[in-house]
Amino acid sequence: MKDIVIARLKKSAIWVVLLLLVVVFTAANPRFLSMNNLFTVARQVSMYGIASIGMTFVILIAGIDLSTGSIITIVNVMCAYLMVNMGFGMVEAVTLSLFLAVLIGTLNGMLISTIGIPAIIATFATQTIFAGIAYLLCGGTPIYGFDPRFKVIGQGYVGPVPVPVIIMILCFALGSFILNKTYFGRYFYAVGGNEEAAELSGIRVGRIKYLIYALSGLFAGLAGIVMLSRTNSAQPTAGLGYEFDVITCVVLGGVSIVGGFGKISGVIAGVLIIGVLTNGMVLLNVSNYTQMVVKGIVLILAVGFDTLQKKRSIG
């Protein structure tokens, strides 16, 4: 019975931490638990949530994608450039921008799977390249002046629920479906658990990596579209540093950095914890620099816990 209780606590620990944070911040500032603020938290984390799905797939195969922030930026700038400078319609601009995001993800897959460059180097290279292209495209200045209908994606509501939150929920549902109901979702776990064994069992590991990095690009691109609509202005630094927050959400949510283990439900909790932490510290007037320190500590604790769990299981 004791072992069962401990096992259940481990499985639900992330949600217990989330609940404790909510209690602490509510005690410190009663405004935290207002419905308006809770929707604000959900809207603020929507972009992290959307991008975290692709990152979940990547980390499940023991990979990493440092280009997420740059994909958010280039999609942000490209979509705005197409609408404002090239005269494209909203649908065409969004479609072409998301297609670019998938191409960047596919490029990452090629560099990692076909050429054999380590994921951290390959994605850091593409991060740098496309961050530079975004600057060149917009000349280092913001792009604005979109079709008013475009605001609905990032600023609209369905009843009391913000549209970005609905998009995030749909993306989480899609991510969960891919992992739990499709054969290639099972392949993600197999490749992350033991790549060599997966290949020997007939799984085309190279193709799986292409697919995973393409999906990572797609979800990052969608986060970029939501961000552009929300801010109503394309910035050459829009996604700067986003990859680290997204990685923190995923690892905090229990996805193992050595691959083969993790669930979308845990990632949802990880995203909400980062959102609650950020919003709570803002309400308490904690400086941005202190927030950076806290997020760094959270990442260290999450990775450290994962590493210790792996050592214990091996021992």
Each residue of 179-221: pLDDT tens digit? 999 988 999 999 999 999 999 999 999 999 999 999 999 999 9
pLDDT, tens only, 51-67: 999 999 999 999 999 99
pLDDT band at 313 (very low <50, low <70, confident <90, very high): low
Q: How far apart are CA 248 and CA 14, in angstroms?
A: 13
Q: What is the greatest pairwise CA distance in the chain? A: 66
Contact in structure between 285 and 71 (CB atoms under 8 Å) = no
Rounded to an integer, the average pLDDT of 290-303 is: 83
Q: What is the pLDDT of residue 211?
A: 96
Read off the pTM.
0.92
DSSP code string of 196-213: HHHHHTT--HHHHHHHHH
pLDDT value at position 5? Answer: 52
CA distances to 89, 175, 195 from 107, rounded to whole Å, are 27, 22, 21
Could you tell me what percent of the chain has a pLDDT over 70? 93
pLDDT of 49 strictly over 80: yes
Q: How confident is the model at residue 292 (pLDDT cuts 50, 70, 90)?
A: confident
**Residues forming beta bridges with residue 143, ordered by sequence position:** 234
Report the chain's C-alpha Rg in angstroms: 20
Strand segments, DSSP code E, in 146-243 are: 157-158, 161-162
172 pLDDT more than 80: yes
DSSP string, 6-24: HHHHHHHHHHHHHHHHHHH
Q: Is the model more confident about 146 or about 8? A: 146
